[in-house]
């Protein structure tokens, strides 16, 4: 059969077929983008199959993910369960040293400035496997759902512990195992927020901490401790509370044998709500590794504030040894960004975050609250709209061309 391309009978079926094909193509692309950008996905559990040195143990599966993440919170005890209640109190005293007698009388006495439960140096073993979530729960029965704790007395500090996170399950186990008892002995009111970056795009630590601030602020927290998940405090006299100036806690880390350099301002830092707003939070353009801690120092200096550090003997930390993660490569632009940090801190930070991320999942485990976010939600939507616009333009051009050809 020979097609007569000068005949309208030939062009009409071809035109209809092309139109149908283009519409179907646009529909499929749109659906794929909609699934990726708009539909909350089944969120990854905390895990990192890319770190080969993480040993698979009873707490982690072959991908390095927590295996008992969905265990129920059954720590609440009733007065009728006398035997269980005795075991409950024994666990509190053994693990934290706190005598949990209860505070049903409504006593509003202020907690002591220096808690009577402080031990000073704390033994931290990062060479052996961490405890599993269920064991950590049993050792910390006073910790409430979502990883929150309030002492019997009126706490002098109410702090949100904000952890920027992605695929560091084993590190999180160490953190929960050792930090919950320390924070309880300090008699502060606290809650642990794990801000988990979804996907495999370059890690954006500072933006995750901005998001953590926004989400914790909704729960009436006004002191924020931004904390690396691989750092464990080894002296409970380093009290996690905000001061009149920003606080740099982690300036004595075993890996570095002390302070890395004078301007180092990372690992664990504390800022009040007003201090955080004054520096406009953290920048959102430091992607990957390098400079994301130093820029905080630059912002503090740019606003005319100073900072506070606990004594060298108290602010002691151990670091969980690990290789750098995939997706957290060295930021080649870090030095250029640091040079302009003081001049540009008002242009990018807390004020540019709210419309650029989306919460995909919020999960309150008995030991922590995990909030999984798409940190590039705005960019994904811009890209999606651009692709749809281009496809629509292409369709219009093709239809017009075929229509003109048919009429001729």
Contact 330, 290 (CB under 8 A): yes
Query: Which of 119, 156, 277, 322 is flagged as catalytic?
Result: 322
Whether 324 is a known active-site residue: answer: yes
Q: Is residue 111 helix, strand or coil?
A: coil
Is the Cα torsion angle 332, 338, 344, 348 positive or negative in sign?
positive
Q: Report d(CA 182, CA 122) in Å as an integer.
A: 8
Q: What is the rounded CA–CA span in Å between residue 313 and residue 276?
A: 27
Alpha-carbon distances of 272 from 60, 171, 304, 314, 345, rounded to whole Å: 36, 26, 16, 21, 18
Residue whose pair of structure tokens reads 């006593």 in the numeric block: 107
Catalytic one of 65, 230, 298, 374: 230
Among candidate residues 228, 236, 294, 374, the one labeled active-site is 228
364: annotated active-site residue: no
Marked catalytic residue, from 44, 189, 292, 294: 292
Q: Cα(139)–Cα(291) distance, rounded to whole angstroms?
A: 37
Which residue among 129, 201, 273, 289 is the active-site one? 289
For 100-108, the CB contacts below 8 A with 24+ separation are 100/141, 100/142, 100/152, 101/152, 102/152, 103/152, 103/153, 107/152, 107/153, 108/154
| Cα 312 to Cα 259: distance, rounded to the nearest angstrom | 9
- Residue 230 among the catalytic residues: yes
Q: Is 4 tagged catalytic?
A: no
Whether residue 400 lies in the annotated active site: no
For 363, the token pair is 């999960």
Q: Which of 293, 294, 298, 374 is catalytic?
A: 293
Contact 29, 391 (CB under 8 A): yes
b/e code 344-378 from CB counts within 10 Å (16+ = b): bbeebbbebbeebbbebeebbbbbbbbbbbbbbbe
Nearest to 366 by CA among 146, 196, 179, 125: 146
Cα separation, 149 vs 137, whole angstroms: 13
Active site residue 200: no
Q: Do 209 and 162 contact (CB within 8 A), yes or no? A: yes
Contact call for residues 326 and 199 (beta carbons, < 8 A): no
- Is 135 part of the annotated catalytic residue set? no
Catalytic entry in 201, 222, 301, 319: 319
Tokens of 218: 């909704």
Q: Which of 324, 332, 400, 401 is catalytic?
A: 324
Using alpha carbons only, give the angle 156, 159, 165 rounded to the nearest 5 degrees.
160
Residue 189 a catalytic site member = no
On whether the CB atoms of residues 165 and 46 are closer than 8 A, the answer is yes
Q: Which residues are catalytic?
A: 228, 230, 289, 292-293, 319, 322, 324
């Amino acid at each position: 059969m020979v097609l007569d391309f000068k005949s309208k009978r030939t062009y009409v079926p071809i035109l209809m077929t092309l139109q149908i094909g283009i519409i179907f193509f646009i529909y499929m692309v749109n659906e794929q983008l909609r699934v990726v950008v708009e539909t909350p996905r089944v969120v990854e559990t905390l895990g990192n199959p890319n770190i080969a040195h993480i040993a698979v143990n009873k707490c982690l599966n072959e991908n390095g993910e927590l295996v008992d993440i969905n265990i129920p919170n059954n720590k609440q005890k009733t007065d009728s369960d006398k035997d269980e209640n005795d075991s409950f109190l024994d666990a509190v005293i053994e693990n934290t040293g706190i005598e949990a007698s209860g505070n049903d009388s409504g006593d509003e006495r202020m907690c002591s400035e220096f808690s009577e439960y402080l031990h000073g140096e704390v033994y931290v073993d990062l060479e052996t496997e961490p405890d599993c979530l269920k064991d950590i729960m049993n050792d910390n029965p006073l910790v409430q759902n979502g990883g929150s704790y309030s002492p019997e007395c009126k706490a002098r500090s109410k702090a949100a512990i904000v952890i920027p996170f992605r695929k560091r399950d084993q590190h999180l186990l160490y953190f929960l195992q050792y930090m919950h008892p320390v924070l309880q002995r300090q008699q502060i009111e606290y809650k642990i927020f794990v801000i988990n970056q979804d996907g495999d795009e370059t890690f954006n630590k500072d933006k995750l901490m901005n998001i953590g601030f926004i989400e914790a602020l909704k729960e009436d927290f006004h002191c924020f401790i931004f904390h690396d998940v691989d750092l464990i405090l080894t002296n409970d006299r380093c009290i996690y509370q905000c001061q009149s100036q920003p606080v740099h806690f982690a300036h004595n880390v075993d890996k570095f044998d002390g302070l890395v350099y004078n301007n180092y301002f990372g690992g664990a830092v504390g800022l009040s709500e007003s201090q955080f707003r004054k520096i406009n939070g953290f920048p959102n353009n430091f992607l990957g590794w390098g400079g994301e801690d130093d820029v905080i120092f630059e912002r503090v200096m740019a606003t005319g504030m100073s900072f506070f550090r606990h004594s060298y003997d108290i602010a002691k930390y151990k670091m969980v040894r690990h290789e750098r993660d995939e997706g957290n490569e060295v930021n080649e632009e870090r030095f250029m960004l640091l040079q302009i940090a003081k001049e540009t801190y008002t242009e990018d930070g807390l004020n540019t975050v709210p419309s650029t991320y989306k919460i995909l999942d919020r999960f309150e485990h008995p030991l922590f609250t995990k909030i999984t976010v798409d940190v590039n939600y705005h960019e994904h939507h811009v890209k999606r709209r651009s692709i749809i616009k281009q496809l629509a333009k292409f369709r219009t051009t093709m239809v017009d061309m075929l229509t003109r050809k048919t009429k001729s």
